[in-house]
Structure 1
Amino acid sequence: MTLIGEYQAATMQLANATRDRATGLWVAHTDGDLVEDVAADLIAQAVNVGIARAVGLADRWLSRQIEEATRQPTPTTGIVTRDHFPRLRKAVGTIFGRFRHREIDANEGRMQTGRVGHSEPLEAGQRATTEAMTKQVLVQGWVREFDDDPCQLCQWWARDGRIWPSDHPMPTHKGCNCSQRIVLAEHIKETKFTERLHRNG
């Protein structure tokens, strides 16, 4: 397995574990073992922890990519994880509210909770990779590396292997586990996004 393949397996394992933790807490509520407020707090906290772990994983993985390419020790950038609990608590509270008002049934609520738990760590890791790349001076760009089952949208976003500037964010969708393979090269063409970013910076 390639280094990126190992990373994608690790991020998917983390996403699945976070989803399972979140849905387990949802079921504990619908079974009568947890009151709504406690269950919602615990779900939001579980996903928040998953996000933090994804950020750390992305930072370490990027350093390993650079080490593999340069054969030189490369420290992590030490990205600081932001607290997403208030946002997550609001999102989870909305799901509980819809269930309480019988707009969705218990199974739909479980699936929605699971989607939050699964997608949030994946998205956090992808954002953290872009952030870490901008702090690693050797990284000049990246190429989209597909997950095991790339959709048409991901294939279109890849632009046939185009090399993107390191500070150009990778577009994603819910459940996407595509990753960024680094490029250590010069003269990578600017995009409109990075042109504006550098002009306004």
Structure 2
Amino acid sequence: MNAYAEQVAALANSTNETVQALYLRFLAGEITEDMFVALATTALTVGDSKAAALADAGVVAALTVMTAEVVLPVGIPAPKPPPNLLRQIIVDALADEEPKRALETGARGRTLETAQHAYKSGLESHEVKFWTRAPNSGACPACQNLAGQVMPIDKEMWTHKGCSCTQKPANEHQKEKSSARNRDNAKRAAATRRANDAADPEQSAARRSAAARRAAATREQRERERRAGERT
């Protein structure tokens, strides 16, 4: 995990700890439910502001290293979510069968998502043309497989719920190396498939069928996660 990703993860954990501490006060009867919702919503708002500031600093640090020149921050503004969006995250979590777990998912997820969006905004403000994924140390297989690919800045980074991967700026040289590597990998994979197909046609057909099923399942899972994100 890179230094910026560690800082984002720490901020997400801090936001969650604040919300959890408030939840314990609510359970103890020290504050009412309305007070808890209001204070927890404020904690998410503060997390948003800190995430934007952290992303601004993270972009500057990455660009300074990549260009070997001093890059100044642009001042990424804190997000302005739709009215009641943050409050609804807390309300929905309270209504969950496992409020403590749902509050953790909501608090951490909101801070991580804000940091990701703010970082992308910072890259665009600095007119960066390419980016690559920087997965965290516990990244899922899907995120690990996407790491190293250099993408154009207008390509959104795919994320799942609770994803703490970050983007890193990339330059034209890195893009060319990535494209060449992808072409070489594709050629080797194609050669391997042809050899396997020639050796065992029936097994090859079974492999293609299984691969198609896995791809369909992955697409369905991503679509469910996208729809769930839209509802929140």
Count of residue pairs brought into register by the alignment = 175
| Kept after mapping to 1: 8 A contact 2:131/2:167 | yes
Letter paired with 1:113? L
Aligned equivalent of 1:181: 168
Give the unaligned 5+ runs of structure 1.
Answer: 190-201
TM-score in terms of structure 2 length? 0.70
Structure 1 segments (4+ residues) deviating >3 Å: 186-189
Give 2:138's aligned residue. Answer: 149
SS in 1 for 2:168: strand
Taking a change above 3 Å as real, the CA distance of residues 71 and 157 of structure 1, as seen in their structure-2 partners, is: closer
> Structure 2 counterpart of 1:120, which letter?
R
C-alpha distance in 2 between matches for 1:74 and 1:15: 26
Structure 2 residue aligned with 1:89? 87
Which structure has the greater CA radius of gyration? 2
Q: CA deviation at 1:186?
A: 6.9
The code of the aligned residue for 1:52 comes to S
Residues 163 and 188, structure 1, Cα contact 8 Å, conserved in 2: yes
Q: Percent identity?
A: 26
Aligned-residue CA RMSD (Å): 2.0
User: Is 1:74 the equivalent of 2:71?
Assistant: yes
Q: Give 1:185 shift.
A: 1.6
Structure 2 unmatched ranges of 5 or more:
177-232
Shift of residue 188, structure 1, vs aligned partner: 5.5
Structure 1 residues 28 and 188: alpha-carbon distance in aligned structure 2, compared to 1, 3 A threshold = same
Distance in 2 (CA, whole Å) between partners of 1:119 and 1:83 is: 17
What is the aligned partner in structure 1 of residue 159 from structure 2?
A: 172
Residue 164 of structure 1: SS of its match in structure 2? Answer: strand
Query: Structure 1 length normalisation: TM-score?
Result: 0.80
